[in-house]
């Protein structure tokens, strides 16, 4: 993969539009009428995926998002045939996850589905692109195929990009997910958030964790979710938490601005893409 672009400018060379089944990849007037499932763009350490519909986005990412952050099924591979798939991530406006989570999901798929032959089993699964198609729906396959073509599923050396995926229907939903990306990408910001979390009173933390449990989040993402929700919506955890977290919110926002600068990313320009 290419190194991060200076100033976080969108890469012109990594733009893909994926069509639904039945549409050829070759441009023609006949295929121009087919709607696009998604457009993918690299932006520094981020992969931004703009889906054409909530249904396409949900079908492409619900299983891997559940594998990444679910309270009950994190790190648990769930096959397409499992009835749980109908209940996953309902009404999500956007999705976010490290590329590493997608790789781990594929590794779990490979083992659970016995996807590769015995001779291939110990080899790099990305040496055999497309093996996942028998175990994924069309939207998952399209997204994985494009991530493989872009080099995202290969082993990256230190400093290579991209490392975090955000998908969306409307750009208005992206801000929350960008905060998750920042928490993942900037160790200094992550450390500051953890200190803020530990400084909260025990009753405040209990209210927040209870609410996050009710929303289906696993314990491993609680602190990340705390910083994203408190930064965006002071009232999302109730009046007492709002009062205690007022100063926390101000400090988080100041730290976020500095962290984006240190990552050399102009977040505002994402909303102009």
> Which one of 29-33, 70-74, 138-142, 159-163 scores highest in mean pLDDT?
138-142
Buried b (16+ CB within 10 A) or exposed e, 221-235: bbbbbbbbbbbeebe
Residue 91: name the closest of 178, 176, 211, 215 by CA.
215
pLDDT tens, 51-85?
A: 999 999 999 999 999 999 887 888 899 999 999 98
Distance CA 233, CA 242 (A): 9
Quickly count helices (H) and strands (E) in the chain: 10, 5
- Average of per-residue pLDDT values in the chain: 83
212-to-14, 63, 200, 226, 256 alpha-carbon distances in Å: 36, 19, 16, 8, 22
What is the length of the chain? Answer: 273
How much is the pLDDT for 114? Answer: 83
Q: Check whether 189 has a pLDDT greater than 50.
A: yes
233 — pLDDT class (breaks 50, 70, 90): confident
Rounded to the nearest angstrom, the gap between the alpha carbon of residue 267 and the centroid of all alpha carbons in its chain is: 16
How would you list the strands of the sheet with 10-18, edge to edge?
Answer: 10-18, 38-43, 46-51, 164-168, 94-98
Contact 73/56 with Cβ under 8 angstroms?
A: no
Main-chain dihedrals φ then ψ at residue 72, nearest 5 degrees: -105, -20
Main-chain dihedrals φ then ψ at residue 50, nearest 5 degrees: -100, 110
Contact 153/106 with Cβ under 8 angstroms?
A: yes
Distance CA 132, CA 149 (A): 14
pLDDT tens, 87-98?
A: 899 889 999 999
Strand pairing partners for 217?
70
How much is the pLDDT for 10? Answer: 41
Q: Check whether 29 has a pLDDT greater than 50.
A: no
How much is the pLDDT for 123? Answer: 55
Q: Can the peptide bond before residue 121 be classed as cis, meaning omega within 30 degrees of 0?
A: no
DSSP labels, 209-235: HHHHHHTTB-GGGHHHHHHHHHHH-TT
2 — pLDDT class (breaks 50, 70, 90): very low
Two tokens, residue 128 = 């055999």
């Amino acid at each position: 993969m290419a190194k991060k672009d200076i100033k976080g400018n969108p890469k012109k060379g990594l733009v893909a539009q994926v069509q639904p089944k039945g549409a050829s990849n070759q441009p023609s007037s006949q295929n121009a009428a087919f709607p696009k499932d998604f457009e993918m763009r690299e932006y520094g350490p981020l992969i931004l995926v703009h889906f054409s519909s909530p249904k396409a986005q949900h079908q492409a990412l619900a299983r891997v998002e559940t594998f990444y952050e679910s309270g009950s099924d994190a790190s648990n591979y769930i096959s397409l045939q499992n009835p749980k798939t109908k209940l996953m991530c309902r009404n999500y406006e956007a999705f976010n996850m490290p590329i590493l989570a997608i790789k781990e999901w594929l590794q779990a798929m490979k083992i659970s589905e016995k996807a590769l032959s015995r001779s291939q089993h110990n080899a790099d699964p990305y040496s055999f692109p497309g093996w996942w198609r028998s175990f994924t729906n069309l939207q998952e396959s399209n997204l994985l195929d494009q991530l493989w073509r872009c080099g995202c599923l290969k082993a990256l050396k230190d400093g290579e990009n991209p490392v975090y995926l955000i998908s969306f229907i409307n750009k208005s939903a992206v801000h929350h997910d960008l905060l998750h990306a920042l928490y993942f990408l900037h160790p200094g910001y992550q450390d500051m958030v953890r200190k803020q979390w530990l400084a909260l009173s025990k009753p405040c933390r209990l209210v927040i964790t209870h609410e996050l449990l009710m929303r289906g989040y696993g314990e491993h993402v609680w602190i990340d979710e705390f910083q994203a929700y408190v930064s965006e919506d002071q009232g999302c955890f109730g009046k007492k938490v709002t009062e205690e977290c007022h100063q926390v919110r101000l400090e988080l926002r100041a730290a976020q601005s500095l962290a984006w600068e240190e990552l050399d990313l102009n977040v505002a320009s994402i909303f102009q893409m």
